[in-house]
Chains A and B, each alone.
Chain A
Amino acid sequence: MIPAQFDYERPASLAEACQALAEDDEAKVLAGGQSLLPLLRLRLAYPTKLVDVGRLDELKGVHDRGDHVFIGAMATHDEVLRAPAVASGCPLVAMATAHVADPAIRHRGTFGGSLAHADPAGDLPAVVLALDGVLVARSAQGEREIPAADFFVDYLESSLAQGEILAGVRIPKPGEGWGFHYEKFHRTAQAWAIVGVAAAVRRSNGAITEARLGLTNMGATPLRAHATEAALRGVELGDAVRQACEQAADGTSPPSDLHAQPDYRRHLARVLTHRAVRTAAGSP
């Protein structure tokens, strides 16, 4: 199918891009376009203008910044996967990114685009949420830092204001003793996650001292499994972990769609959280 008409701008700077967006309420940011273009082709979106930020150097690159990794919004999934800073500083991001779509889409799709799209079925939002990432937004008014917990507002809705562009994400580096895993459950390799679990688990002397758990596709936004996180604190590996993971679906409101009903998703969240935590804790 064929997209409807729109104007196109490719600003030379982030400042110009913010200006271009602020001028037109119906304008949209074009990053890699891997989520946006199918929507345009199916005529599910009719933007008046696309502001192409895909080539802005200011938004590119993955940077090791001491206590955190800064992933530029326009870093492609492929670049993120290959970035040494990600491998060492936030391996969970790499684990989940390997599950995003397919290689060709990972060459175009961007880290920032995936987050700004705010699809709760996407793999990366839950990861950034689990890792307490901080999203950095730019607008004509300047820079704004948005904790991941405040960024995802509703289904396909972020807290970015019109005229605001996601510049990048700060992912705090973990300290010692952390292990990670992203567990994705889907029917075919191409299909969206029915449920996904991003787990960061810290161990000390055989017990879990801290766990951060992000859930994919368990509500209108990515969610933290707070109850399980609390229940896991201080727990020895073994049956107690399983029990803690029984609360993984607490406080979620999973969707009903072609692939799963809410009760099944809740069940999966429990099982997959257990698997993710065990793997992250290095206890297969």
Chain B
Amino acid sequence: MTVQEVGQPRKRKEDARLLTGRTQWTDNLTRPGLLHVMFLRSPMAHARIASVDVSAARGMPGVVAAFSGQDFAAEQGSLPCAWPVTEDIVIPDHPPMAVDEVRYVGEAVACVVATDRYRAADALDAIEVDYEPLPAVVDMNEALASDSAKVHEAGNKAFSVTITSGDIEAAFRDAPVVIDRTYVQQRLIPSAMEPRAVMADTDGESFTVWSSTQIPHVLRVMLAVVTGIPEHRIRVIAPDVGGGFGSKLQVTAEEVLCLLLARKLGKPVKWGESRSEGNLTVHHGRDQIQHVRLAADSDGRVRGLQVGLLADMGAYLMLVTPGIPMLGAQMFNAIYKMDAYEFGCTGVFTTKMPTDAYRGAGRPEATFAIERVMDELAAELGMDPIEVRRRNWIRHEEFPYTTISGLTYDSGNYEAATEKALALFGYDKLRAEQADRRDRGDPVQLGIGVSTFTEMCGLAPSRMLGEANYGAGGWEHASVRMLPTGKVEVITGTSPHGQGHVTSWSQIVSDALGVPFDDITVLHGDTAIAHKGMDTYGSRSLVIGGVAVVKACDKVREKARRLAAHLMECSPDDLDFAAGAFTVRGTEQSRTIQELAYAAFTAHDLPEGVEARLDSDATFDPDNYSFPHGTHLCAVEVDTETGMVKIRSYVAVDDVGTVVNPLIVEGQVQGGIAQGIAQALFEEAVYDAEGNLLTTTMADYLLPSAADLPNFTLDRTETPATSNPLGVKGVGEAGTIASTPAVVNAIVDALRPYGIHDIRMPCTPERVWRALEGVRR
């Protein structure tokens, strides 16, 4: 009896290499005659480039070449924006290297190519650039004022949309309770541990680009479009990639320029980013101002929700920049039933690094706003925050349920997840302690935060992407091939960078084909090997890519069935498949799938119409998103003397549908929670009024270490998705989406007796103290 692999906490196949330093990070790679590239970056947020003089740099030791934007002007094209969210969106020209004007600090203005990075760094100091300063545009509200300086000639508004569902006016008319709040989603720096790196080489005709990217397939297409190099002459390889969190879901200036440098010089070139360079130039995340109004009845029932966003695009629209806030458009209503909903969003240009996808991408922002507002509603009504949610959430028997924003949630059980979380958390006991501390006037107050979240995962049904005017589909591809010796090669179009696809896909294939886990290998991340794919982001890999693997296995199994029937001289319908073997029903006669693989290889005796291969391809395109959900509870201690917040306990019960590997799921949730907590407490990309980034290093941009975070108590409920055959929902972003509001709700809960109803993120000790000072006066 074979054990079912799906559901087993398999240790990862990926680990051994990573643990022993046998890694293939892009910056580890080399080529004969490799040259090193470094970029000179603008110290000005906004300026006209009067001149760039690279001649002195060219003469320096070890320097092979030096170029300014002018040298690339004829060939560099414009970095792509694949998501024009409205008909009249303004998509400014975005040269990979600035030619006439710089629009954010860090924009590349020149580069040096040298025999090693030390000499390249020295030569950068010798480049002279003459800037004519232009006014910086830093604040979104000011940017939209009629007298604001312009980032681009077309103005500072990129786009504006409003979506309405139901009678919003009626919902607010005579509403007994209206909550009106403005929240700031601060700008974040994704901070994947591996800084970006790119290497490019050419044989004179074809090009290979190695990049620390999440999206080798998308990148290949886009490099062809941007540079005009024919797609079939470009191969993109994503070797080991050290985290992404959306930040490597991009077509970057450096990728384009390294490719062009390889073409210009006919030599291999490599660029490796420094962290301080990365903080300036890896796209940032979040950065929205959210105006939220919620109308409710006096019993807590939500009538309607009105959302108005200002979303900071930064200086340009990158790959999916304008789509990020739009990914939240259908999520503000979350798990709640209501009569009417209005969503408005204006994308604003500023002279800052462009924003784009960061873990959750639009959904954390939406979840934060609604979960904060639900707590405000509870407070307004003197109701427990759990109770106000109970009165509004979709009950488990109501699925499938079409929400006010038009999504159909296939499955879920908010009641079950919440009950489990409350029990694990010891909710009532903590509430009692909270009351006691309040009574005693304890300088350390206790706060309890609730977040009952859902998200839309598995980006995305191609049809829906088309309706949203996204420039590509959302399918995923897989190939499964049985080798002559009975081993299996899986080729996936997903591009893992920490998610453990090699392990999870092996588990899936092991069950589908009855082949031992260790006999399966998974190839990915090289467009010459995995020729078709849509890559890894948006919690899509398992939900779409994993299902594509299942579909490919199904086809392989059916081919094997035909072959088995032929060899055992029976009808395919008379065969039972179990534990990797076809058995003629009611007999002892059987063939293992490994035997059939060998038979297909020798091809000595194949039935009519069966080719000499036991392999197959499949592409999966879902009909619907998936909707993981869960209940996260956070208890914080707030030192009212200093404003310091300490997380005392954190419980998360997630429902991500069927679990393929509980170890990996747990890891994803833990890491996600940590990142969400970091937004609530620690992280913020700060620009000054002149548009200078002040948080350029890890000494200034605070990332939590092990010493800054607690342990998390995790559990799960399992309500399988009905939109895919695996029943999986995706887990990559859940923790991040859920945790930020849980933490801030807890902090505000602790401070509510003082009359405080918001702390702006990150909730620094100083901000907490200032809020308390404000009410003490």
Contact = CB atoms under 8 A, between A and B. Distances in A.
Interface in B683-733: 686, 694-695, 697-700, 702-705, 707-708
A119 to B, nearest CB: 12
A272 B698 CA distance: 26
Nearest to A5: B122
A264 B767 CA distance: 10
Contact of B704 (A188, A192, A194, A272): A188
Contacts of B641: 271
Given A1-B274, A260-B766, A267-B769, A185 B125 contact: no
Interface in A1-34: 1-2, 4-5
A5 B61 CA distance: 13
Contacts of B695: 258
A190 B641 CA distance: 22
Interface string A158-201: 00000000000000000000000000010111111010000000
A277 interface: no
B52 interface: no
Interface string A43-81: 100000000000000000000000000000000000000
Nearest to A261: B766
B636 to A, nearest CB: 15
A191 B702 CA distance: 7
Contacts of A261: 766
B703 A188 contact: yes
A240 interface: no
The contact size tier of chain A is: 20 to 34
Nearest to B698: A190
B121 interface: yes
Given A188-B682, A188-B704, A188-B708, A2 B118 contact: yes
Contacts of B705: 188-190
Specify which of B117, B698, B702 lies most central, judged by the most chain A CB atoms within 10 Å of its CB: B702
A74 to B, nearest CB: 24
Interface in A220-271: 258-261, 264, 267-268, 271
A231 B702 CA distance: 37
Contacts of B694: 258
A75 B708 CA distance: 29
A42 B279 CA distance: 13
Contacts of A192: 699
B766 A259 contact: yes
Nearest to B641: A271
A115 to B, nearest CB: 20
Nearest to B706: A189
B769 A264 contact: yes
A38 B699 CA distance: 10
B482 to A, nearest CB: 49
B644 interface: yes
Interface in B645-693: 682, 686
B766 A2 contact: no
Most buried by B among A1, A43, A194, A272: A1
A258 B700 contact: yes
Interface in B116-140: 117-118, 121-122, 125
A277 to B, nearest CB: 15
Chain B binding surface SS class: loop
A192 B708 CA distance: 14
Interface residues of B, number: 30
A188 to B, nearest CB: 5
A249 B274 CA distance: 39
A187 B769 CA distance: 13
A2 B121 CA distance: 6
Contacts of B699: 38, 190-192
Nearest to A271: B641
A233 to B, nearest CB: 25
B135 to A, nearest CB: 24
Q: Tell which of B122, B699, B766 has the most Cβ of chain A within 10 Å.
A: B766
B591 to A, nearest CB: 58
Contacts of A264: 766, 769-770
Nearest to B119: A2
B759 to A, nearest CB: 14
A185 B700 CA distance: 16
B117 A188 contact: no
B703 A259 contact: no
A187 B699 CA distance: 11
Contacts of A268: 642
B189 to A, nearest CB: 13
B580 interface: no
B164 interface: no
A189 B699 CA distance: 11
Contacts of A272: 642
> Which residue of B274, B641, B682 has the most chain A CB atoms within 10 A of its CB atom?
B641
Contacts of A4: 121-122, 125
Contacts of B642: 185, 268, 271-272
B764 A187 contact: yes
Contact of A187 (B276, B682, B698): B682
B500 interface: no
B765 interface: yes
A43 B663 CA distance: 43
Contacts of A1: 121, 274, 276-277
Contacts of B770: 264
Nearest to B639: A271
Contacts of B682: 187-188
A260 B765 CA distance: 9
Contacts of A2: 117-118, 121-122
A271 B700 CA distance: 25
A258 B686 contact: yes
Nearest to B762: A187
B101 to A, nearest CB: 26
A2 B700 CA distance: 20
Nearest to A102: B705
A261 B698 CA distance: 20
B584 to A, nearest CB: 65
Contacts of B707: 188-189
Contacts of B697: 42
Interface in B373-391: none
A268 B695 CA distance: 23
Contacts of A43: 125
B62 to A, nearest CB: 12
A253 B291 CA distance: 39
Nearest to B705: A189
Nearest to A265: B766
A2 B124 CA distance: 11
B644 A185 contact: yes
Nearest to B681: A187
A65 to B, nearest CB: 36
A271 B644 CA distance: 12
A255 to B, nearest CB: 13
A260 B708 CA distance: 19
Interface string B252-278: 000000000000000000000010110
A153 B641 CA distance: 32
A187 B765 contact: yes
A259 B764 CA distance: 8
Nearest to A185: B642
Interface of B: 117-118, 121-122, 125, 274, 276-277, 641-642, 644, 682, 686, 694-695, 697-700, 702-705, 707-708, 764-766, 769-770
Interface of A: 1-2, 4-5, 38, 42-43, 185, 187-192, 194, 258-261, 264, 267-268, 271-272
Report, nearest first, the 4 A-B pairs whose CB atoms are least far apart.
A189-B707, A2-B121, A1-B274, A264-B766
14 contacts: A1-B121, A1-B277, A2-B117, A38-B699, A42-B697, A188-B682, A188-B703, A189-B705, A189-B707, A189-B708, A190-B705, A192-B699, A264-B769, A268-B642
Given A187-B702, A190-B698, A258-B700, 4 more contacts: A1-B274, A4-B122, A42-B276, A42-B697
